[in-house]
Amino acid sequence: MGSIYSFAAGLAVATVDNNLGLDFSARQGYFDPDAYNAGLDVGNAVAIVQGALETLGGVASLLAEGAGTVGSGGTLTFAMAPAAAGSLALTGHGIRVMASGASNLVNQTGRVRMYNKTPSDQKLINNGLV
């Protein structure tokens, strides 16, 4: 049960961090560091996919809104403006989420140390190498 909880905690931390841009970290409340770190990795990978889909959706919407404006001879310009603003916001958020997820995954941001795994791991921890 502790592993599932720890994985879910890592996943939640990565989701909040990547979507809201907070340096959110759960340094307490997890039981299994391996599972927590795996949850972070999955959450960061999901953020990359989420960001790509948001970006593609926002760009597609902008293209559709532009086509609608041109196709109407400009009469829908003011009607399309709020939708275009929303599409720009979605595109920007997608780019930021994708970049954050990729950066956190590559840099292993937020990972927790694995204490007392084996004697050799403890030696690495004691020497500051883990």
Q: Which tens digits make up the pLDDT trace of 22-74?
A: 776 655 556 788 899 999 999 999 999 999 999 999 999 999 999 988 998 88
Residue linked to tokens 């994985």: 7
Residue linked to tokens 């905690």: 9
Instruction: Report pLDDT for 45.
Output: 97
**pTM passes above 0.85:** no
For Cα atoms 92, 98, 99, give the angle at the middle one, nearest 5 degrees.
90
